[in-house]
Amino acid sequence: MAGSASDAPILLIGLARPELLDERPGWGPGAPGTTPVALEPLGEDECARLVRKLLGGAGPPAEVLASIAERAGGNPLFVEELVAELIDQGVLSQSGGHWTATADLVRAPIPGTISALLASRLDRLDLEERSMLERASVVGQVFDRRALAA
């Protein structure tokens, strides 16, 4: 697509893992008119900023932020789901406008990968919620409540 539209001012974004270039070295950076941009994992400060934003600006103590950043490995989706899981388990709680850890985050029973964490969270949904998500997953990216109800 990029090659056939070389005289048109367009922005074409392609997402891939670095391994794609190992298998197809002529794709991406090797193609004319392309500029690769590598997205690196979030650093500890960026993870802390994301956690604070997720918690409405009132973040937990620095050691809690560091622990979340370390466990998430810089993956923003993992940070988001990890914070939600810690709240659901009561390991992270809000009191007087401040977030605190009620238990040792290192010992909290949190799956070690984003896939396992998402699967664990889905497994704990009640039957009605899980049934709704299963139905929604086959409707497509855009749907309305009527389609889901049907």
Residues 42, 99, 86: CA angle, nearest 5 degrees: 65
Beta bridge partners of 101: 92
pLDDT of res. 79 = 92
Q: Count of H helices and E strands in the chain?
A: 7, 2
Domain locations along the chain: 1-39, 44-110
d(CA 63, CA 29): 40
pLDDT of res. 3 = 62
d(CA 67, CA 62): 9
Q: Which residue has the higher pLDDT, 53 or 135?
A: 53
**Chain-wide mean pLDDT for the chain?**
79
**Residue 5: pLDDT band with limits 50, 70, 90:** low
Asked whether the whole model's pTM tops 0.85, one would answer no
pLDDT of res. 76 = 93
Closest alpha carbon to 113 in 74, 78, 76, 64: 78
How many C-beta atoms lie closer than 10 Å to residue 106's C-beta? Answer: 9
**Residue 9: pLDDT band with limits 50, 70, 90:** confident
Tens digit of each residue's pLDDT (9 = 90 or more) over 66-119: 888 888 889 999 999 988 888 888 888 887 777 777 777 767 777 888 888 888
Residues 6+ apart with CB under 8 A from 83: 51, 54, 55, 68, 92
CA distances from 20 to 1, 14, 30, 39, 79 (A): 18, 11, 12, 14, 25
Residues 6+ apart with CB under 8 A from 63: none
